[in-house]
Structure 1
Amino acid sequence: MSNTTTANAQPQETKRGLPGWATGFGAQVIAGLIIGLIVGFIASGMDAGRAEDDASWLTTTLTGIGSAYVQLLKVMVPPLIFAAVVTSVANLRKVTNAASLAISTLVWFAITAFFSVLVGILVAVVLKPGVGTSVDAATAADPSHVGSWTAFLQSMLPSNFIGLGASFSDGEVSLSFGALQLLVISLAIGIAAVKAGKAADPFLRFTESFLKVIQVILWWIIRLAPIGTAALIGKAVATYGWDALGSLGKFVLAMYIGLALVLGVVYPAVLKLNGLSVFGFYKRVWPVFSLGFVTRSSMGVMPVTERVTERAMGVPSEYASFAIPLGATTKMDGCASVYPAVASIFVAQFYGIDLTLTQYLLIIFVSVIGSAATAGTTGATVMLTLTLSTLGLPLAGVGLLLAIEPIIDMGRTAVNVTGQSLAATIVAKRAGIWDKDTWDAAEDGVAGILDPESAEDAEDAALVRS
């Protein structure tokens, strides 16, 4: 029995002897991207000459499938946050220096945000995306949501036990949950359960069991990723405002160069300084990166981010289930560092305003400290309004960039979720709780590692070896 279990824990190969990454989950996601691009171009051709609200059946189908997949991911986020955070708080008792881990997490969030915003400023200063642009000044408009320094504190205070909110518009009621509120509630319940001692043991056992059930359901949803990827990227090609690239192409180029430098320079430097393989990290984080790109939702991808961080990166679940939910609400190198830097400099250049050294320092300050102020609100747009208001720049400049928002949001979100996994891995490595065996087991890909049954086999094999 021990030999069978150990064999199941090893990286799997296909019948043709190819490594798992070549034919497994990662390859399926890549295939989904390619198919989505092809179908998207076909749908775009079918939509040519049609009114914006009269999309072809193919575009409508892609939109429906993509939206359904994102909805499936998001619906599991609240129970995952609650179960994972409560369980992690209880299990952190087994990890030495839990308070130090929490502080280190915030420090590494700030370090990567600092260098990311520096990259954004450098790119914007060199490329000058706001100079000579042909964007119509008439598109300038004040945003509907504006970030503020008090919004963060207000968003932390739960309005009800489960952080649920509701809004009424056009005769319909929309429900939403405050991720940061739910995180605070879960932390409080977890700490209270620990303080309650043995009386809380049945509750903690139930929560841990509930978390296992949630993880199985999440695996079912994750396996649909290739289909969801194809639909989402196809919908993006068919419906997003690609025509806006004519007037804002320079801004889009600056944004993607900045994001590429974060992925290709900042993150690799951090990995190398901490003794981790750059190629190995990106091979393992690929499902997180690709889903972030197509779904444009850090919270929606959070279940996958947590699963990959635990079972492919070697981060203990006791710590990952705390760090990843926290990162999904406050750790956004794409949305809260690169984007506000490039966008605010674009707005200043468009209106002919010369920024002072103090204003550049304020951009850095807002990006490093203020990203949490957007938690529970409208992400990158609100973060930009917070930056513009702090710098004293026209808030109407936000309207100039709305046309290409979906295009740049794909890259921003991919960087966000990659950075969340990176920070958790680095902290675990530096704290001495990183599991090299788990990292090595994912060398051939993450398909089998993500499967709950394969993960249980690996745990059994570790017990046998010990």
Structure 2
Amino acid sequence: MEASSSSAMFHGVFFEKFISITYYQTLIGLAAILVSFFILKWLQDRKTSFSIRMLVALIIGAALGLGIQAVAGFPVKATGWMNEISIWYGLPGRAFVAFIRMLVIPLIFVSIVKVVLDFSGQENLPKIATRGIFWLLFTTGIACVIGIVLANAFGLGLETAVVTSSEQGKAYTNLVETILRLIPSNIISAMSGENIVGLVIFSALIGAGANRMEKKNPEVIAVFKSLIGALYKIVMSVAMTIIKYMPYAVVALLARTIVLNGIPAIIEVSSFVVAIYVATILMLLVHVVIVAMHGVSPVMFVRKALSTWLMAFTSRSSVGTLPVTISTLTGRMGVNDGTANLVGSLGSTMGMNGCAGFFPAMVAIMVAHMVGIEVNLQFYIMLVIVVVIGSIGIAGIPGTATVAATIVLSGMGMGEHFPLIGMVLAIDPIIDMARTLANVSGTMVAAVATEREMGSMDMAVFNDADAIAEHAEATL
């Protein structure tokens, strides 16, 4: 049955434009997703683990999307009732993303300020921050190299060349300008413009300023610390409440993606999808090697990180996964609260191995191939530098990889060719799952490596197979 073959049951502006329900198939589609939500609610009431619920949601979302495509006859383009279903499926999915985006600014602000305040009087804060940032950016550099190698190995963009010219674009952003843009001249504008690295700088300065004034004004600063501590608990509570409903959003987001784009769009960019997942697997191997180099059992690390990886994979949000990441680091891996909060917060705003590492590298190579730009050693070196710098201050929320790709393409002088990656953006949720997994894994490895180098990791907790991430499990 073709999507456009059915006649509309309802007519008029109210049905067609306002509530977007004119076909009986739309009502059936709505009933189907409500049944899916009922199943998830039943599992939640039975205290089924959050990871299992997320996996079930992923399966249901894929089945629902493919089922609708099958009923419609797998059309090349969604029309009629399929568009109406996608609009309604966008309600829970897009609402969830909006809630996550709403929390980015307060979550990063209170996390960074609290971390700086918690390290008041401690001399090792700069060391922890320096080591954490090093490992985040170092692994992102490795991710970029992996992306370059795989993009060439898979020949991304070679079969869809649109320009046969070796002349590069003129819209370069030099290194000095790139760095200066990270420093906010107006913190309100930085917040509204989601200049996350600017927010991190401002938050760190606020915390440092409070620490310096503590001896002169102990009573006032004590109130400020209590306020920040209360805000942190409140924001984390709100975040965990929203995350609790993430399985419902996963069903809607995945089903909507398949309904809108269908199988042809996925097949068209299958090479890119495969390259992304291969890059993710290779990065996980790199992470395991780094952990092993620091005297930590890679098997135990993978075992304890698995549920957090799964949540990152299905949620597509490094920031959304942050509370669980921190809880896993502290409750299951023996990383102290300060290091977990600092490196965890930094890892959700910089050095994301997937979204800001191998993905923009692959996009840059693909576009270069498509427009006929020569890729040589100088191009690769410049690409690694641009990717690593561009990875600073990218908020870890769904869709952030698009921002990272824009930054890298502009930095490489190919900003005008951004529309060429439209076919990749069409199946972004599918590849975003793998990218986010790599992001969160990189953050956890950076925290563990930092803690081991500082010599303060509680190995008794790490080696305890039954250790529980209390806050995350209790809330979810």
| TM-score (norm: length of structure 2) | 0.75
Q: Residue 281 in 1 paired to residue 301 in 2?
A: yes
Match of 1:191 among 205, 208, 227: 208
TM-superposed CA distance for 1:34, in Å, is 1.8
TM-superposed CA distance for 1:99, in Å, is 0.9
Q: Residue 125 in 1 paired to residue 149 in 2?
A: no
Determine the C-alpha separation between the residues in 1 that align with 2:282 and 2:111: 33
Match of 1:25 among 50, 60, 63: 50
TM-superposed CA distance for 1:300, in Å, is 3.7
Equivalent in the alignment of 1:417: 440
- Contact persistence 1:43–1:58 (CA under 8 A): no
Q: Residue 101 in 1 paired to residue 128 in 2?
A: yes
Match of 2:341 among 317, 321, 340: 321
- Contact persistence 2:54–2:250 (CA under 8 A): yes
- Contact persistence 1:74–1:300 (CA under 8 A): no
TM-superposed CA distance for 1:51, in Å, is 4.2
Name the % identity. 26
Equivalent in the alignment of 1:266: 286
Equivalent in the alignment of 1:3: none
Does the C-alpha gap of structure 1 residues 182 and 354 become closer, same or farther in structure 2, counting only changes over 3 Å? closer
Does the C-alpha gap of structure 1 residues 60 and 297 become closer, same or farther in structure 2, counting only changes over 3 Å? same
Match of 2:230 among 209, 228, 249: 209
Equivalent in the alignment of 1:8: none
TM-superposed CA distance for 1:362, in Å, is 1.6
- Contact persistence 1:147–1:385 (CA under 8 A): no
1:434 maps to a residue whose letter is M
- Residue aligned with 1:332, SS: coil
Determine the C-alpha separation between the residues in 2 that align with 1:411 and 1:88: 29
Determine the C-alpha separation between the residues in 1 that align with 2:163 and 2:466: 51
RMSD over aligned CA atoms reads 3.5
Give the number of equivalent residue pairs: 415
Does the C-alpha gap of structure 1 residues 362 and 28 become closer, same or farther in structure 2, counting only changes over 3 Å? same
1:159 maps to a residue whose letter is N
- Residue aligned with 2:355, SS: helix
Equivalent in the alignment of 2:248: 227
Deviations 1:363-388 (A, max 9, x none): 22222333227679984344445444
Gaps of 5+ in 2: 1-46
Equivalent in the alignment of 2:454: 431
TM-superposed CA distance for 1:204, in Å, is 0.4
Determine the C-alpha separation between the residues in 1 that align with 2:60 and 2:457: 37
- Residue aligned with 2:181, SS: helix
Q: Residue 380 in 1 paired to residue 401 in 2?
A: yes
Determine the C-alpha separation between the residues in 1 that align with 2:162 and 2:236: 48
Determine the C-alpha separation between the residues in 2 that align with 1:128 and 1:177: 34
2:197 maps to a residue whose letter is L
- Contact persistence 2:461–2:467 (CA under 8 A): no
Deviations 1:295-337 (A, max 9, x none): 4333343344333333333322222222222222211211222
Determine the C-alpha separation between the residues in 2 that align with 1:289 and 1:28: 14
2:210 maps to a residue whose letter is A
Equivalent in the alignment of 1:460: none
Equivalent in the alignment of 1:16: none
2:69 maps to a residue whose letter is S
- Contact persistence 2:344–2:447 (CA under 8 A): yes
Q: Residue 75 in 1 paired to residue 102 in 2?
A: yes
Higher relative contact order (CA 8 A, sep 6+): 1
Determine the C-alpha separation between the residues in 2 that align with 1:340 and 1:162: 26
1:324 maps to a residue whose letter is G
- Contact persistence 2:90–2:256 (CA under 8 A): yes
Q: Residue 301 in 1 paired to residue 301 in 2?
A: no
1:323 maps to a residue whose letter is V
- Contact persistence 2:304–2:332 (CA under 8 A): yes
TM-superposed CA distance for 1:101, in Å, is 1.0
Instruction: Choose 67-76 or 201-210, whichever is displaced more.
Output: 67-76
- Contact persistence 1:116–1:266 (CA under 8 A): no
Deviations 1:103-137 (A, max 9, x none): 11121122212221221222223222233x24777
- Contact persistence 1:116–1:338 (CA under 8 A): yes
- Contact persistence 1:114–1:364 (CA under 8 A): yes
Equivalent in the alignment of 1:44: 69
Determine the C-alpha separation between the residues in 1 that align with 2:448 and 2:438: 15
- Contact persistence 1:285–1:308 (CA under 8 A): yes
Equivalent in the alignment of 2:363: 343
Determine the C-alpha separation between the residues in 2 that align with 1:26 and 1:294: 9
Determine the C-alpha separation between the residues in 1 that align with 2:101 and 2:337: 21
Q: Residue 253 in 1 paired to residue 253 in 2?
A: no
Determine the C-alpha separation between the residues in 2 that align with 1:155 and 1:220: 32
| TM-score (norm: length of structure 1) | 0.77
Deviations 1:442-463 (A, max 9, x none): x358574514689xxxxxxxxx
- Contact persistence 2:55–2:314 (CA under 8 A): no
- Contact persistence 1:33–1:233 (CA under 8 A): yes
